[in-house]
Amino acid sequence: MPFSLSSLRRSSRRSAASAGTAAAATSVDAGGPSRAASPHIVSPAAAPRAGWLAVSLLTLMVGCSAASNGEATGSAGGPSGAAPNMGVKGCTALMQKQHGQLKSIQLKNGSPAAGTAVPGVPDLPRPTKAVPAADPVYGNCVLRVTEHAKEPPVRFARHDYSRRQAFNADGSRILIASNDGTWHLYDGRTMEYVDELDGPAGDAELQWHPTNPDLIYYMPSNGLGMELYELNVRTGSSRTVAEFGDRLKKFWPDAAAAWTKAEGAPSADGRYWCFMVDDAEWKSLGVFAWDMKEDRILGKMDTHGDRPDHVSMSPGGKRCVVSGDTEGVGTRAWTLDFKKSTQVHHKSEHSDMAFDAQGRDVYVSIDYQSDGGDVFMTDLETGKRTVLFKTYLDHSATAVHFSGRAFKKPGWVLVSTYAADGKRQWLHEKLMAVSLTPNPQVKELAFHHGAYNGYWTEPQATVNPDFTRVLFNSNWGSRSDMDIDNYMVVLPEDAVK
C-alpha cells in the first residue's frame, strides 16, 4: 500500500474544535477527554476546487403540491410548511417527475463485476438552501439543510455522527451541532431553522426518543455527574430520568462520569442502555448495562483501567458492545450480565450495529489489517463473520463510516467513504446503501463533495429509521475545516427493500 496501515486506524472523537474557537469552552476541566480530530487515513493533498462549472441544479419549478409520506407539520413545534418546489415536498415532486430508479451494483466475492463504471465526482456549485437538486450521476434529490453563514449556528452546522440518529421519531426535526457546543433543531421537511436547545451543551450524547417526536435524552457533557435527562423540545421542559451516581459509587467509589464516550446509542426501542464509567482523572473503572423501563442496573464489569474506545447497546437490546484496541481484547459483545462475550473484531475501528434481514443484531466495520481491507459484518451472538466488500483495490484505500440506524428497514446499512488514496475506485467519495448479505447489493445514493481536511470534514453520513432520508456533512470542496454545512439525500419509499 502507498501508506502505513496504522494511519487507517480509528481514534476516539473530539467534542471541542481547534484551539482559539468558542468550542473550547465546552471541554471538561484540564486533563479531561475529548473526541479526537485525528484523521483515519491521510489523503494526498488536493488543490481546492476553483472555477466551479456553471451547472444548473435542476431546480424544480412546479406550482402544485406533491403528496408525500410525512408531509404533515411535525409535533415538535416551530415553523412548518414550504413552497411546493422547496424542501422534501420539492424533492418528492422531482423524483416523481424523473421516474428514476436507484442505481445498483451487485458484488461477488467482495468486488463488482469487471468493467463497472467509476464516475468522477461532478464539479457542482454548492446547492442553494432547501432547493431540490438532482445528483447528476445517481439522480437522487439532494437538499442543503443548513446555511451557517446566514442563520444559526454561526459556526459550522453538522449532524453529530454516523452512529447517532439525527431525525426525531416522525422526521419533523433534525438535530444539528455547532462547534461552540450548542445544539440546534431544523425542520426535517422544510429545512427551516427552528431553535437552539436549552439544556444540552458540549458532548451531551443526545438521543431521540424512538416513538415520541418531542422528547430527547441527554447527559451532562462527557457524562460528568452520572445523570440522564429528558428534554421536551416542544415545551422546553426537562426532567431527570436517572441518577446513577450513588449506585455506581457502591461498585466504584471513585466514579465521576458515566457515558458511552461519544459514540454509543441505546437499543432500538430505547429501553436498554450501556455505559462506561470513569473516575475524575478519566481512568476507566467499569461498564454497566441499564434497563430504563425498570431503572435497574442489569450487570456490570470491571475494566481494571483498560479504557474502552466507546461502548454501545445493540439494537435488539441483548448485547453491550465494548469497543477497544487492547491486544487480545479488541471489540466484544457482552451479554447484559457480563458473563459471556462474543469477539466481533480484534480492533476498534469505525463501525455501527444494525439489524440484518432476519432481525438479528450484527456489527458492521472494516478490517484494515486484512489483505483486502474488508468491510464485514459479524453476528453478535454467533460470532460468524461475513465479508461484504473489499476496499484495497488496485493499491488504493479509503476511510469509511457506517450507519445502521434504519431499524425499520432491517438488512441494510449506510456506508460513506472519504479521504480516498490512490486511483479512484467504484466506492470512493460517496454514500451507498449496502445489503447485509453475502455478495451484497449496493445502491449508490450520491457524492458528498467533501474535500478532506481533518475530522470535522468527514461526511459521517447517517440514515433515518426507514431509509428514506440520509444526512451528510460537507465543506463542498472548499477544503475548509469550518465552512461545513449539513445536506440531505431524499430517497423513494421503496429505495431499499
pLDDT, mean of each 10-residue run, the chain (497 residues): 35 35 31 36 30 28 32 46 80 77 82 86 95 92 96 93 98 96 97 97 97 98 95 97 98 98 97 98 98 98 97 98 96 98 98 98 98 98 97 97 98 98 96 97 96 97 98 96 97 90
Q: What pLDDT shows up at residue 255?
A: 98
The model's pTM: 0.86
> For residue 203, what is its C-alpha cell?
458532548
Q: Please name which of 450, 435, 441, 440 lies closest in space to residue 399, comparing C-alpha atoms.
A: 450
Q: What pLDDT shows up at residue 398?
A: 98
C-alpha distances in Å from residue 363, one per residue of 51, 331, 348: 42, 10, 12
Please tell me the distance from the alpha carbon of residue 457 to that of residue 455, in angstroms, as a whole number. Answer: 5
Q: What pLDDT shows up at residue 76?
A: 56
Burial of 181 (0-12, 13-18, 19+ CB in 10 A): buried
Query: Dihedrals φ, ψ of 111, to 5°?
Result: -140, 155
Q: What pLDDT shows up at residue 97?
A: 75
- β-pairing, 341-345 with 133-134? unpaired
- β-pairing, 103-106 with 441-447? antiparallel
Q: What pLDDT shows up at residue 100?
A: 58
Q: What pLDDT shows up at residue 9?
A: 35
Q: What pLDDT shows up at residue 58?
A: 32
**Cβ within 8 Å of residue 153, ≥6 positions away:** 176, 178, 180, 182, 184, 196
Question: Can you give the three-state secondary structure of the chain, one letter per residue?
Answer: CCCCHHHHCCCCECCCCCCCCHHHHHCCCCCCCCCECCCCCCCCCCCCCCCCCCCCCCCCCCCCCCCCCCCCCCCCCCCCCCCCCCHHHHHHHHHHHHCCCCEEEECECCECCCCCCCCCCCCCCCCCECCCEECCCCCCEEEECCCCCCCCCCCCCECCCCCCCCECCCCCEEEEECCCCCEEEEECCCCCEEEECCCCCCCCCCEECCCCCCEEEECCHHHECCEEEEEECCCCCEEEEEECHHHHHHHCCCEEEEECCCCCCCCCCCCEEEEEEEECCCCEEEEEEEECCCCEEEEEEECCCCCCCEEEECCCCCEEEEECCCCCCCEEEEECCCCCEEEEECCCCCEEEEECCCCCEEEEEEECCCCCCEEEEEECCCCCEEEEECCCCCCCEEEEEEECCCCCCCCEEEEEEEEEECCCCCCCCEEEEEECCCCCEEEEEEECCCCCCCHHHCCCCEECCCCCEEEEEECCCCCCCCCCEEEEEECCCCCCC
**Cβ within 8 Å of residue 456, ≥6 positions away:** 17, 37, 156, 158, 179, 473, 481, 482, 484
By the 8 A CB rule, do 181 and 25 touch? yes
Q: Please name which of 391, 447, 454, 393 lies closest in space to residue 419, comparing C-alpha atoms.
A: 454
Query: Dihedrals φ, ψ of 456, to 5°?
Result: -65, -20
What is the separation of C-alpha 60 from the centre of its chain, rounded to a whole number of angstroms? 29
Number of other CB atoms surrounding residue 153 within 10 Å: 20
Q: What pLDDT shows up at residue 82?
A: 55
Q: What pLDDT shows up at residue 108?
A: 87
Burial of 304 (0-12, 13-18, 19+ CB in 10 A): exposed
Residues in a beta bridge with 471:
462, 488
Q: What pLDDT shows up at residue 117?
A: 83
Query: Dihedrals φ, ψ of 90, to 5°?
Result: -65, -40
Please tell me the distance from the alpha carbon of residue 427 to that of residue 269, in angstroms, as a whole number. Answer: 32
Task: Name the one residue in this structure whose C-alpha cell is 448479505.
Answer: 437
Please tell me the distance from the alpha carbon of residue 247 to that of residue 241, in angstroms, as a whole number. Answer: 14
Number of other CB atoms surrounding residue 367 within 10 Å: 18
**Cβ within 8 Å of residue 435, ≥6 positions away:** 357, 411, 412, 441, 442, 496
By the 8 A CB rule, do 55 and 173 touch? no
Peptide bond into 153 cis (omega under 30): yes
